[in-house]
């Protein structure tokens, strides 16, 4: 399979599905980005083979939240409304980044089958819905997206893998986003234990959808491994070393990971560390 990367020039044909994904990625306001995702029509031409030139300043994002190192994002008590709002803000930022990641993989990597782009458009739409649910819940608690500092770990890995689709699939949906499968039950329980059942219900919605998103990453990762004659477990270990992926530590949500397409060999390697 010929996977073409972004050339140094070009950029016409923005009205196709992939071009519209690039335009939505470039949108800076969160409302403009959500509107951009909604405006991508299933009926738009895909133009799978077209290679686009990047737009300066990707991804587009609002001036807030302030982006800081992960160690500077403080943990707050779930016993207070402020603490719960800070947690929901962190989740909203993850979902905002996840919208950008889905849009980025659509426009950046040409030469994939039509189903690839339609899979990631579905992800972009669902991540946008998740962000909006969290944003509205924050609003009900007296806060807005941007009120708390956030870190940018998800997008930093996207930058590292900007020219390697196999690495992108291995290390973003199958690694960083899959961590959400492990963390979501604990987050839901903390919110429910603090009496915030509305927020806990949103986390349940996100977990159910994220299983499908990680499954999409697994499907295309394993397909590319098969076509390249690579063992998925050995290839993953090699890519994790090459790109400096974080070492994953348990506890792991093995049920959710199996539902998302991780097989026994992969789960054994994960648990072995």
DSSP 173: I
pLDDT of residue 14: 64
pLDDT of residue 208: 97
pTM of the model: 0.92
Q: Which of 114, 161, 135, 146 is nearest to 17 (CA)?
A: 114
Q: What does pLDDT average to in each consecutive run of 10 residues of the chain (273 residues)?
A: 36 76 96 97 92 90 90 80 94 97 97 97 98 98 95 89 97 96 96 96 98 98 98 97 93 97 96 86
pLDDT of residue 9: 31
pLDDT of residue 48: 94
Reading the block at residue 135, the tokens are: 């944003």
List b or e across 53-79, with b for residues whose CB sees 16 or more CB atoms inside 10 angstroms.
ebeeebbbbeeebeeeeeeebeebebe
């Amino acid at each position: 399979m010929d996977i073409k990367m972004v050339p140094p020039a070009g950029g016409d044909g923005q009205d196709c599905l992939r071009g519209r994904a690039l335009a939505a990625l470039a949108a800076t306001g969160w409302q403009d980005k959500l509107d951009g995702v909604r405006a991508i029509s299933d009926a738009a031409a895909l133009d799978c083979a077209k290679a686009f030139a990047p737009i300066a300043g990707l991804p587009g994002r609002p001036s807030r939240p302030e982006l800081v190192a992960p160690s500077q994002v403080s943990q707050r008590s779930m016993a207070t409304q402020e603490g719960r709002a800070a947690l929901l803000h962190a989740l909203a930022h993850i979902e905002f980044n996840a919208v950008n990641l889905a849009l980025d993989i659509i426009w950046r990597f040409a030469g994939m089958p039509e189903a690839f782009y339609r899979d990631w458009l579905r992800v972009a739409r669902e991540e946008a819905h998740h962000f909006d649910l969290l944003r509205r819940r924050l609003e009900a608690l007296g806060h807005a997206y941007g009120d708390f500092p956030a870190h940018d770990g998800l997008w930093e890995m996207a930058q590292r893998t900007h020219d390697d689709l196999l690495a992108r699939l291995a290390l973003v949906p199958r690694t960083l986003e899959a961590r959400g499968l492990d963390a979501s039950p604990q987050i839901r329980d903390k919110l429910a234990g603090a009496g915030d059942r509305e927020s806990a219900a949103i986390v349940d919605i996100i977990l159910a959808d994220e299983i499908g998103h990680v499954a999409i990453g697994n499907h295309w990762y394993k397909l590319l491994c098969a076509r390249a004659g690579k063992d998925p477990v050995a290839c993953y270990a090699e890519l994790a070393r090459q790109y400096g992926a974080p070492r994953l530590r348990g506890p792991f949500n093995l049920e959710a990971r199996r539902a998302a397409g991780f097989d026994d060999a992969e789960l054994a390697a994960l648990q072995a560390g």
